[in-house]
Amino acid sequence: MLSRVIYGARISLPVGLVVIIFSMVVGCLVGASAGYIGGIYDLLIMRLADITMAFPSIVLALAIAAVLGPSLTNALIAMVLVWWPEYARLMRGQVLSVRTNEYVTAATVVGVPSGRILFKHILPNTFGPILVKASMDAGSAIMNIAALSFIGLGAVPPTPEWGAMVSLGRYRFYSWWLTTFPGLAILTVVLGYNFFGDGVRDAFDPRTNNG
């Protein structure tokens, strides 16, 4: 059991980071382009994001994973499809705020290409809140992937993923160690990511950052 829990860290820890990275990349690119381009494109992207966010994230992820089939890869795809709108809306708001600054207006007046303005002058000044959200969401991503594996829509046994390991102990109540130790591993990692997210938030908060 100890060896499986330790080996399962090689699966459970990276999957949370993969979900966050892909959700952040997709959401930031879509949200930044929507905020900068505006018009019909912005309207369509935001309405799609609103429709996705209207459903509870775990319920929508369950539905998508059930359609795609039980596997860890499909669970990751389901989580990315559910979480990208949150990053898109946050990035769109940041772009709309930054694009009104004087240096962006000056770059537009002198004829700097739109793509260069977006990627060089706007995006570097918008990633503070994005990084804070990503650090706070990492623990939730690991827990949601474990939940999908627990009900059979994520990693398939005998893959030593922590959620799947907890699921194996459901029918052996008196073998308490089958669920206790993978559950403690999930709890420890989620708490660690939450504490890390609090630290990142404090670092980017001007009210608490005295540096």
Taking the CB of residue 134, how many other CB atoms lie within 10 A of it? 21
Q: Inform me whether the pLDDT recorded for 211 exceeds 70.
A: no
Tokens for 58?
């775990």
Q: What are the backbone angles phi and psi of residue 206, rounded to the nearest 5°?
A: -65, -20
When mean pLDDT is compared over 116-120, 157-161, 174-178, 191-195, the highest value belongs to: 191-195
Superfamily of domain 2-204: MetI-like (1.10.3720.10)
Token pair 């002198």: residue: 110
The mean pLDDT of 27-35, rounded to a whole number, is: 90
What pTM was estimated for this model as a whole? 0.84
Q: What pLDDT, on the 0 to 100 scale, is given for residue 39?
A: 87
**Please, where are the H alpha helices in 56-126?**
57-68, 72-98, 102-109, 114-116
Q: What are the backbone angles phi and psi of residue 188, rounded to the nearest 5°?
A: -65, -45
pLDDT > 90: what percent of the chain? 22
Q: What pLDDT, on the 0 to 100 scale, is given for residue 54?
A: 87
Q: Inform me whether the pLDDT recorded for 91 exceeds 70.
A: yes
The DSSP element (H or E) to which 196 belongs, if any, is helix 177-204
DSSP letter (8 states) at residue 60: H
Q: Which residue has the higher pLDDT, 27 or 204?
A: 27
Radius of gyration from C-alpha coordinates of the chain: 20
Token pair 């993923």: residue: 161
Q: Give the DSSP per-residue string, 6-28.
A: HHHHHHHHHHHHHHHHHHHHHHH
Asked if 87 and 74 touch (Cβ cutoff 8 Å), the reply is no
Q: Residues 126-156: pLDDT tens digits?
A: 888 888 888 888 888 888 888 888 888 888 7
Tokens for 108?
């537009």
Q: Categorize the per-residue pLDDT at 206 as very low, low, confident or very high, splitting at 50, 70 and 90.
A: low
Give the C-alpha separation, 132 to 58, whole Å: 21
Token pair 């694009």: residue: 99
Tokens for 54?
């209207």
DSSP letter (8 states) at residue 97: H
Q: Is 153 exposed, middle or buried (0-12, 13-18, 19+ CB in 10 A)?
A: buried
